[in-house]
Amino acid sequence: MATSRGGAVWAYLDSRKNLTGSACGLAGVVLTFTGVAGPYWPVVVAGLYGAGALLAPPERPAPPDFPDASAQVREVRGDFDRLRAYLADVELPPAAEGRLAELTGLLGALLEPGWVAEVLAADPEGVHAVSRAVRQDVPEAVDAYVRTRWWTRMTPGQEPPERHLERQLTLLHQEAERLAGRLRETEARRQESHTRYLEDRPG
């Protein structure tokens, strides 16, 4: 408790209110030495200090330092590398493996360092979609297939789990394609906007 009170005292001593009040109080001391304050100088000094403390802007806590969009893309890229290392150790049927290769190829292209990743970083929904695919959707689809495949071997005659995996990977690839198309449209609008600017610019 004593440590908490001591910290509060030090925090106040370093606060804007105390610094502004002290500056105003110092002005009162100057007035005292020049004879302006007269015998009421303690009241003048205290009043000026209080007025300065009241007029000082309130303390503003620093906002949280969240990573910017480019940093988020770099983090997803690192997770994507770990995902590929995981997928390299998983045995999949040929059809599913082909669809997975198409999906990871597209995700890898979107995360490629350079201007493409910069376009992605400017689209928060796109960053979220890629992050969700890399960190949740793809590993969940593959892991669920591996688990279900084992149970299917124990109880034959059930629906082949690779059908669900292929369908899931197809849906994820379609989602990534829609994102890529949206990003392309963004760049196309940027190009068209520059064309209009050049056309409308005075000669």
Of the candidates 23, 114, 41, 30, the residue with the CA atom closest to the CA atom of residue 77: 114
- End-to-end distance of the chain based on CA atoms, in angstroms? 73
Give which of 75, 81, 70 is closest to 117, Cα–Cα.
Answer: 70
pTM as predicted: 0.66
- Confidence (pLDDT) at 1: 47
DSSP string, 33-80: HTTSSGGGHHHHHHHHHHHHHHHSPPP-PPPP----HHHHHHHHHHHH
CA distance 28 to 13: 19
Query: Quick one: angle between helices 94-111 and 124-132, nearest 10?
Result: 150
177 domain residue, yes or no: yes
**Domain match, 168 and 195 both:** yes
Q: What is the pLDDT of residue 121?
A: 92
Position 61 in a domain: no
pLDDT band for position 102 (cuts 50, 70, 90): very high
- Per-residue CA distances from 74 to 109, 110, 120, 122, 177 (Å): 13, 12, 11, 13, 21
Q: Residues 92, 23: one domain?
A: no
Residues 81 and 131 in one domain: yes
Q: What is the pLDDT of residue 103?
A: 97
User: How confident is the model at residue 64, as a pLDDT?
Assistant: 72
Domain of 112 in residue numbering reads as 69-200
Residue 177 has pLDDT above 90, yes or no: yes
pLDDT digit string (tens) for 14-39?
566 656 666 666 666 665 666 555 56
**DSSP letter at 88?**
T
In a domain? residue 64: no
- Tell me the pLDDT tens digit for each residue of 56-82: 666 667 777 667 778 899 999 999 999
98, part of any domain = yes
Residues 50 and 12 in one domain: yes
User: Please, are residues 95 and 168 in contact by the beta-carbon 8 Å criterion?
Assistant: no
Q: Does residue 143 sit in the same domain as residue 181? A: yes
Q: Is residue 60 part of a domain?
A: no
Number of domains into which the chain is organized: 2
List phi, psi (to 5°) of 61. -65, 145
Residue 47 shares a structural domain with residue 12:
yes
What pLDDT, on the 0 to 100 scale, is given for residue 104? Answer: 96
Contact 50, 21 (CB under 8 A): yes
